[in-house]
């Protein structure tokens, strides 16, 4: 596909739309590429016929088929400022964290502390770094999100068609994500589900918090005990719905918040957790499984713990195992 020019363009642009964008709405395509252009201006240009497909007027909900010719009128777009260069050490960590890759997608073991994308004071996230590290890639897009402090499996699409199919798998419940979390106390084996609606709330400081609220969105997480330790339980958590901070809030709601969680765990508990080596949120996207967008075959990828999580588990195991089927 030809690139859309930035800056002040005095001539009409003709852009060939790639088949990679098949199925995407035209307005969403334009909004993602005409950065800095007011939404009202984009919709006005479509309404007036200044933006056309194959020389014909189209509505904002037109679905791209691939191969069309897009007409853009003369316009003024701000120059795009690129993110800062990827530090050498970060680049090495990201390259070493690739768990699986083919021509359609990548699965990366995202390090804790690295945001998935820039914004809100963060200039460089995982996806911006990947685009710099892979300058020849035609497209790299996040399929889903992970909190900044959460480590583990994250999916990146390398084709628009793959992105669309993996989004469909997410919506249709055909993608299985399993997280490992170290929670305070003894999680009862009989408690295998937390079904509680979640509502976002923004504090005066601007910090985003989530709480269980009857007016919130329906939310369901499955839990399973993996191992018991003296004062902690290692659990597997599978979110059936995909709400912000879902596992963290559902664990707190169940009375067993996650070790190292600065938002939803008590400061006193986190102080105790630091004494056993928990220096970060102990929440890890341990595996992800889905139908491959190219072959349709089931693909499952697992991510190993980083040194911090591995060290915590090994030190707890040295104190002895505790039965998991006694409650």
> How does DSSP classify residue 41?
H
Residue 95 inside a domain? The answer is no
pTM score, whole prediction = 0.80
Residues 161 and 300 occupy one common structural domain: yes
Contact 160/212 with Cβ under 8 angstroms? no
> How does DSSP classify residue 33?
H
Which residues are annotated as catalytic? 147
Residues 250 and 162 occupy one common structural domain: yes
Residues 144 and 72 occupy one common structural domain: no
Q: Domain range holding 69?
A: 7-77
H helix count then E strand count, the chain: 8, 18
What DSSP string runs through 131-177? HHH-TT-S--EESS---TT-EEEEEEESSHHHHHHHHHHHHTT--EE
**pLDDT for position 264:** 96
Residue 53 inside a domain? The answer is yes
- What's the total number of domains in the chain? 2
pLDDT tens for the chain, 327 residues: list them.
455 665 556 788 898 887 777 778 899 888 878 877 888 999 999 999 999 999 999 999 999 988 899 999 988 776 656 667 888 899 999 999 999 999 999 999 999 999 998 765 667 889 999 999 999 998 899 999 999 999 999 999 999 889 989 999 999 999 999 999 999 999 999 999 999 999 988 775 667 899 999 999 999 999 999 999 999 999 999 999 999 999 999 999 999 999 999 999 999 999 999 999 999 999 999 999 999 999 999 999 999 999 999 999 999 998 866 666 556
Residue 131 inside a domain? The answer is no
Residue 114 inside a domain? The answer is no
**pLDDT for position 192:** 95
Tell me, what CATH number does 172's domain have?
Answer: 3.30.2350.10
Residue 36 inside a domain? The answer is yes
> How does DSSP classify residue 27?
H
Residues 64 and 163 occupy one common structural domain: no
- Name which of 19, 16, 20 is nearest 160 in CA terms: 20
Domain finish residue from 26, 45, 77 = 77
Q: How far is CA 225 from the centre of its chain?
A: 25
Residues 183 and 307 occupy one common structural domain: yes
What DSSP string runs through 241-310? S--TTHHHHHHHHTT-PBTT-TTTS-HHHHHHHHHTT--S--EEEEEEEEE-TTT--EEEEE----HHHH
- Name which of 306, 316, 318 is nearest 275 in CA terms: 316
Measured CA to CA, the distance from residue 188 to residue 64 in angstroms comes to: 51
Measured CA to CA, the distance from residue 61 to residue 70 in angstroms comes to: 15
Residues 67 and 194 occupy one common structural domain: no
Question: With left for phi above 0 and alpha for psi between -120 and 50, is residue 27 left, alpha or beta?
Answer: alpha
Residues in the chain: 327
Domain finish residue from 37, 55, 77 = 77
Residue 30 inside a domain? The answer is yes
């Amino acid at each position: 596909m030809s690139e859309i020019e930035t800056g002040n363009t005095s001539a009409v642009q003709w852009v060939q739309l790639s088949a990679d964008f098949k199925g995407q709405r035209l307005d969403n395509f334009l909004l993602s590429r005409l950065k800095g252009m007011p939404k009202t201006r984009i919709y006005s240009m479509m309404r007036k016929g200044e933006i056309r497909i194959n020389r014909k007027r189209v509505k904002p909900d037109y679905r791209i088929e691939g191969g069309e010719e897009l007409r853009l009128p003369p316009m003024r777009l701000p120059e795009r400022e690129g993110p800062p260069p990827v530090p050498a050490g970060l680049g090495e960590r990201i390259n070493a964290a690739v768990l699986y890759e083919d021509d359609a997608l990548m699965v990366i073991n995202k390090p804790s502390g690295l945001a998935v994308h820039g914004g809100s004071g963060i200039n460089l996230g995982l996806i911006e770094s990947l685009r710099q590290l892979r300058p020849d890639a035609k497209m790299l897009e996040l399929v889903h999100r992970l909190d900044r402090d959460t480590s583990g499996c994250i999916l990146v699409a390398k084709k628009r068609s793959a992105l669309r199919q993996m989004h469909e798998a997410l919506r249709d419940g055909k993608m299985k994500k399993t997280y490992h979390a170290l929670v305070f106390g003894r999680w009862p084996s009989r408690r295998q589900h937390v079904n509680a609606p979640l509502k976002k709330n923004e504090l005066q400081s601007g910090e985003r918090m989530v709480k269980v609220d009857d007016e919130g969105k329906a939310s369901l997480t499955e839990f399973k005990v993996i191992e018991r330790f003296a004062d902690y339980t290692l659990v597997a958590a599978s979110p059936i719905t995909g709400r912000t901070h879902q596992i963290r809030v559902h664990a707190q709601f169940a009375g067993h918040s996650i070790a190292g969680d600065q938002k939803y765990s008590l400061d006193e508990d986190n102080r105790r957790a630091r004494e056993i080596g928990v220096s970060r949120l102990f929440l890890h996207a341990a595996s992800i499984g889905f139908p491959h967008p190219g072959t349709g075959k089931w693909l499952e990828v697992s991510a190993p713990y980083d040194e911090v999580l591995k060290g915590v588990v090994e030190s707890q195991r040295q104190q002895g195992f505790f039965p998991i089927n006694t409650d």
